Structure 1
Amino acid sequence: MMEKSFTKEYVFLYNVENNFCRSKSTYDRKDTRTWLNRTFAAIGTRHVQVLFMFALLTIGIGMRVQFSVALVAMTDRTSSKNPDVPVYDWNNKGVLLSSFFWGYAILQIVAALMARVHGSKVLLIASMATNAVICCSIPTVAKLMGSYGVMACRAIMGLAQGFFYPSIYGVLTNWVPSSERAHLGSSALAGVPFGIITGMSITGFISASWGGWPCSFYFYGMLGFLWIIGYYVAGASSPALHPKITEKEKTFIENDASRNETKAKVPWTAIMTSPAFWAIFFSYIGQSWGYQTLLSELPVYMNKVMKFNIETNGILSATPYLIMFIIIIFTGYFSDYLINNEYLTVKQSRCIFNSLATFGPAIGLVALSFMPETAVIPCVIMLIIAVGTQGASSSGFEINSMDISPNFAEILIAFSNAASEVFSNLGPLAVQFVVTDETNKAQWRIIFLAAAASYVLTSTIFIIFMRADVQPWNNTDKENDENKA
């Protein structure tokens, strides 16, 4: 039975107006201040860094997905009222859409190693600068070099964005204390669904305007440059490198964080033989396979089998990602609340929210595959469940790398994310071989049941083998020094 009163290791309150920081060791749950007030009282430099990571993902993911909407306008003469907006007769749309991912996975491990040596800030600025310049250049490249020029531009953008995730996790492990890991980490990762929502809706609106589709590329390019200016001025790879962080907040972060060997030699053998790492690795693969199946194939299923064209309704199309965004934010705060108030251990919390993010989509896919063709509303509900509940993974396997190895979290993420991008093609690839008739519900059922099985299998692996404590190989150099002494 949980006692009414308890000890909390860290409660950090930051008063911006008075520039005052203090640590408090104990408090009672009957305190007149609500948990929400205590949470939002903690405003510091670390929160600004998390906001920059959220903005980075929002803009970066927006650049990634806006092309699918812009491409429709680029090849449709009725998309804009302006007759001077260029339109192209391209028949290689599939290759154009896939070109971004050609190099996305290639440089992630290299990016993680570079971030450890040079810091995340310089890599993030360089990556965003590359994306911003190319994004602004695409209208001109399309005019001068055609689809192959655009294809090359998108491939380079993918290469550059390969630096995003390893560098972001480098920032998070340096800046986020363990007591705030779930809600601050989730807040940064919430930029993914928010970027999808804004990217599709903004691009559609701009493409239909008098300026046409070229303005959508200029818009996102300018956003990228604005982010660079802001992060250059107010961002830093770690608290030690930030010129304006208060000494008290810096001490709080460094005392609570487990990261201390930012340039230590990577213990590859220990990592590759660690069950805790493989639990995260397979979770990335299972989630990526299922997510890509939902993202790319579900609209086709709903159109051909359910006779419902979800792509014609922008609001309905964005709803699952809006729910995902809300779930990411909510589960992040709720997870930290449960852990910090000792209702759950870190391991229990990670397993529960990870299970929600995997069994939720599995249930949605199974139900969707057996629904009758006329069940439009239940079908949409299952779609929302299948996509939206995946947001809970940001409080599950997605931040577990920071639990088990703060010193090498970006390495674990780079390796797992790179592999997941490769395996994410299994779902769409299976569709090509299994679904020979897009109106055949039985063939689609095989695809959705396979995706559901991948969620369940990898979630089971995670529950069995995951760890929430820092692994021994996290402090390899430190242990070697102690042994020598």
Structure 2
Amino acid sequence: MVEKNRNDRIENDEVDVEAEKTPGLGIRHIIATLLFLLLTIAYGMRVNLSVAIVAMTDNSTSQNPDIPTYDWDNKSVILSSFFWGYIWLQIFAGQWGRTYGTKWLLVGSMFINSTACMLIPVLSDSFGSYGAMACRVLQGLSQGFFFPSIHNLLGRWAPPSERSRLGTVVFSGVAFGTIFTMPITGFISASWVGWPPTFYLFGALGYGWAITWVFLGSNGPGDHKLISEEERTYIETSLDTNEETQKTATPWKAIFTSLPTWAAIVGSFGQNWGYSTLLTEMPNYMNKVMKFDMKSNGMLSAAPYLALFIFSFVFGQLSDYLINTSCISRGGARKLFNSIGTFVPALALFTLGFLPEDATTLSVTMLVIAVGINAAVFCGFQVNPIDLSPKYSGIIMGIANGSSNSFSIIAPIVVQLVVGQNESDKSLWRIIFIIASCVYITSDIFFVIFASGEVQWWNYSGEKEEQPNNLTVIHNNTEIPNPEVKSVKSQ
């Protein structure tokens, strides 16, 4: 019966050699671009406080003496408050996206996120650091919908042969948002208008994205009004999915007892500790230890993320090339690039901790390496949930990103406890860098041991057929194995 159903579905979907041809530029690339812009704006909102807080607490940074400043001694706690909200709703976001669709979830969450961003100057002036933290918690809650929704969408829009490239395009928004935000925020904060307009700017960008997504966004290929039949067939055939196969119960037990799933989760643990340390604390480190002024701080803080942006495309193209030419398995590629993206930054951070204070050029070089080479993880644990289960990738990402961002709360607090008010003491920062290096390496070792690049059997749980329907394709009237499907229930 399974064989008959599979053959019937192949015939009905006309899975022939023509369907295997890759269409050119299409709606999937527009969706990827919009998701890139989503992360660009989201990380802009996330990062701008890391730069602006220097001006918010130092009245010598702005040319205008009327710009308000605050005597806050809990800056690291304020920076970590974003993650107090960020960790809670991600699993629900992944599940709600599967059940109700991601389109309007993203519109609503971006609207709330943008409003909270615009309220930071007002509430900071009225309620001090507690007002700023309240806004950041609300931003965290709303941005908690972004990554699970992105993985839900990529699971339905990104064909396996293009997965690393499309994923890299989307995830490079993390780097581009940081590149764009740090110098702009530094420049505006040091100007006559001061730091408040930086929050209004990013709030307005968020509103603009939400309006654009209303008209161009979609839950999947099956309900996009502008997609061609050729592109829709290509995507749904390569993923063996359509609107009906998406409507199945979530196999929670299978997901939580899957070692490959836990490999992706632990990989996310290490990344979030290391990256959040760099993202939230580096402007402060460069200002207090390396003695860069506000304008230089913004530019130099962005330099490592420019390297991240560039390397993300290099690694994405290389990863898909190695997989598509059978030089390496999909799982092998995920492990290789994840290791590159964690071991090299770990070594760079460790070296940075032992450089003398006057070695500014070499220190900046280590920061560029630590952040830039980290782009390899976009082709590692970051895209891996889609490999394991295109249908449930949003839920897996919600579990991984939600739980691992508890480390994004802990890491800045560890900085507060270790460094405290002694922000100019290089030896204390050395401890922070060594801790981040150890967490990076430990998480990657777990990922290498237990990760998989193959579709897990429970991706098809709840469907009438017990195996993936595209195990074979028709070529010259002959049924041949589909090379994209490498794992079924034998996992």
TM-score by length of 2: 0.83
CA 1:372 to 1:101, structure 2 compared with 1: closer, same or farther past 3 Å? same
Distance in 1 (alpha carbons) for counterparts of 2:315 and 2:381: 13
Counterpart of 2:445 in structure 1 is 460
Give the CA deviation at 1:73: 3.2
Q: Secondary structure at the match of 1:385?
A: helix
Counterpart of 1:69 in structure 2 is 51
> What percent of counterpart residues are identical?
47
Give the CA deviation at 1:335: 1.1
Q: Given residue 458 of structure 1, which amino acid in structure 2 is its aligned partner?
A: S
Distance in 2 (alpha carbons) for counterparts of 1:301 and 1:136: 27
CA 1:311 to 1:297, structure 2 compared with 1: closer, same or farther past 3 Å? farther
Counterpart of 1:149 in structure 2 is 131
Distance in 1 (alpha carbons) for counterparts of 2:289 and 2:266: 31
CA 1:429 to 1:130, structure 2 compared with 1: closer, same or farther past 3 Å? closer
Q: 1:43-442 residue pairs with structure 2 within 5 A?
A: 44-82=26-64, 85-90=67-72, 92-259=74-241, 261-297=245-281, 312-431=296-415
User: Is contact 1:310–1:316 with CA below 8 Å preserved after alignment?
Assistant: no
Moved more, 216-225 or 361-370: 361-370
Distance in 2 (alpha carbons) for counterparts of 1:139 and 1:438: 25
Deviations 1:314-372 (A, max 9, x none): 33221111101111121112211222222222122212211110111122123223434
Counterpart of 2:435 in structure 1 is 450
Moved more, 93-102 or 425-434: 425-434
Deviations 1:127-156 (A, max 9, x none): 111122222333344444544333322211
Deviations 1:254-307 (A, max 9, x none): 111144542322212111211111111111111222223334456666677777
Counterpart of 1:3 in structure 2 is none
Q: Given residue 113 of structure 1, which amino acid in structure 2 is its aligned partner?
A: Q
Distance in 2 (alpha carbons) for counterparts of 1:451 and 1:88: 30
Distance in 2 (alpha carbons) for counterparts of 1:300 and 1:130: 28
- Gaps spanning 5+ residues in structure 1: where? 1-7, 17-43
Q: Secondary structure at the match of 2:452?
A: coil
User: Is contact 2:76–2:416 with CA below 8 Å preserved after alignment?
Assistant: no
Distance in 2 (alpha carbons) for counterparts of 1:154 and 1:296: 13
Q: Given residue 196 of structure 2, which amino acid in structure 1 is its aligned partner?
A: P
Q: Given residue 364 of structure 1, which amino acid in structure 2 is its aligned partner?
A: A
Deviations 1:73-104 (A, max 9, x none): 34444444455544455555444333222111
- Gaps spanning 5+ residues in structure 2: where? 1-16, 468-488
Give the CA deviation at 1:393: 0.3
CA 1:375 to 1:481, structure 2 compared with 1: closer, same or farther past 3 Å? closer
Distance in 1 (alpha carbons) for counterparts of 2:333 and 2:110: 34
TM-score by length of 1: 0.84
Q: Given residue 48 of structure 2, which amino acid in structure 1 is its aligned partner?
A: Q
Q: Given residue 334 of structure 2, which amino acid in structure 1 is its aligned partner?
A: R
Moved more, 139-148 or 468-477: 139-148
Q: Number of residue pairs matched?
A: 449
User: Is contact 1:302–1:310 with CA below 8 Å preserved after alignment?
Assistant: no
CA 1:448 to 1:10, structure 2 compared with 1: closer, same or farther past 3 Å? farther
CA 1:66 to 1:10, structure 2 compared with 1: closer, same or farther past 3 Å? farther
CA 1:429 to 1:256, structure 2 compared with 1: closer, same or farther past 3 Å? same
Distance in 2 (alpha carbons) for counterparts of 1:438 and 1:158: 26
Counterpart of 2:13 in structure 1 is none
Q: Given residue 370 of structure 2, which amino acid in structure 1 is its aligned partner?
A: A
Distance in 1 (alpha carbons) for counterparts of 2:200 and 2:119: 8
